[in-house]
Amino acid sequence: MSSILVTGGTGYIGSHTVIELLNLNFNVIIVDNLSNSELTAIDRINKITGKTPKFYKYDVCNRQELRHIFTDNSEIDTVIHFAAYKAVGESVEQPLKYYHNNISGLITLLECMEEFNVQNLIFSSSCTVYGQPKTLPVDENTELQPANSPYGNTKRISEDIIRDFINSGSKLRAILLRYFNPVGAHESGLIGELPQGIPNNLMPYITQTALGIREKLMVFGGDYTTPDGTAIRDYIHVSDLAIAHIKSIDYLKDKSGGFMDILNVGTGEGYSVLQVINSINKILEHPLPYTIVGRRAGDIEKIWADSSKCMNKLNWKPKFSLDDMTSTAYIWEKLLRSGQ
């Protein structure tokens, strides 16, 4: 039986994707160095699915460790590559950390895939490759603007690396999923976003503030040219995003070698920070405390997706609403803090 290797599989999006894979009886192998996740994710995956994926606490930048996985598991035929640093603000402060990890990790993985004749790759890209687009919504043919952060640039460079590798004659079949803003948590409440330290992403900061762990939410920028002055993003529920990866496996099956496609994965709806706050306020006893502060380096003003290509080619459609996203994130955070 073939296996799927999931790099960064104990992380936020990775763990939700592993759950969907296991529920469909895929054989799953995880590699993760736990730099931004915890081993407890494996236990939580088991509680939800009744299955335990094989796990390696290795670093994808380490060629020797990665080769060991492929040598140990010759049945691997597909890799879903999540493993990367992802905080926009931190990437502005520590660009070399991001370039080293995100770029060298991909190169090492591609070299190992070529050596062991593994030809299917689903790559975790990002809408940050669009920079601040001139027109909205963005589709896959929208002209890429300069990335607003080193993180975004690592994703753009990674896309170029995969494209150039295929153009060189590689038999790789790759699908590049440009995510918009994943939020929410598994409906079981057993797994969700678990950032180390102070959250860089909006939703965990909101849920931690709602539970009194943070004094108040800092809203970065209230003077954007948007209806309420706050930044607009296309938020997508993480479980909807996970399903897009499963559909991508099927999509690659009938493609010949030397193939690449790029798909936007979003809902097509843009929501402002204040709209997200208003959504979670529906389930809180008291309104969420927040204060508007200056803009954050690396952030763009507004973006949302045209995901029609993804919906058509993958036969995929998001099912969760913004209220679903905020409520599942809150339930996860609440259960987590109560020790469940």
**Extents of the domains making up the chain:** 3-185+236-267+306-318
**In this structure, are residues 265 and 241 in contact, taking their beta carbons and an 8 Å threshold?**
yes
Tokens standing for 313?
């080619």
What value does the mean pLDDT of the chain take? 96
Please report the DSSP string for 82-120 in residue order.
--S---HHHHHH-HHHHIIIIIHHHHHHHHHHHHTT--E
Q: What is the DSSP string of 289-326?
A: PEEEEPPPTT--SB--B--HHHHHHHT------HHHHH
- The rounded distance, in Å, linking the Cα atoms of 320 and 51 is 25
Q: What is the architecture, at CATH level 2, of domain 3-185+236-267+306-318?
A: 3-Layer(aba) Sandwich (3.40)
Question: What does the pLDDT read at residue 170?
Answer: 98
Return the ∠ at Cα 217 (arms to 213 and 221), rounded to 5°.
160
Task: Write out residues in the chain with pLDDT < 70, as ranges.
Answer: 340
Give the pLDDT confidence score for residue 14 in this predicted structure.
Answer: 98
State which H helix or E strand residue 248 sits in. Answer: helix 238-253
d(CA 187, CA 263): 26
Q: Tell me what pLDDT residue 199 has.
A: 83
Helix, strand, or coil here: 138?
Answer: strand
Q: What is the pLDDT of residues 119-168, one digit of tens each?
A: 999 999 999 999 999 999 999 999 999 998 999 999 999 999 999 999 99
Residue 75, φ and ψ in degrees, nearest 5:
-85, 0
User: What residue has token string 């099956």?
Assistant: 253
Q: Going by C-beta distance under 8 Å and a sequence separation of 6 or more, which residues neighbour residue 44?
A: 15, 190, 191
Q: Is the dihedral of CA 189, 191, 197, 198 positive or negative?
A: negative
By annotation, the residues acting in catalysis are 151
113: amino acid identity, one letter? M
Q: What's the pLDDT at 340?
A: 63
On whether the CB atoms of residues 37 and 194 are closer than 8 A, the answer is yes
Q: Nearest 5 degrees, angle CA 236-CA 240-CA 246? A: 135
Cβ–Cβ under 8 Å, residues 73 and 124: no
pTM score? 0.96
State the pLDDT at residue 196. Answer: 77
Distance CA 230, CA 224 (A): 6
Distance CA 95, CA 166 (A): 27
pLDDT in tens, 4-46: 999 999 999 999 999 999 999 999 999 999 999 999 999 999 9
pLDDT at position 103: 98
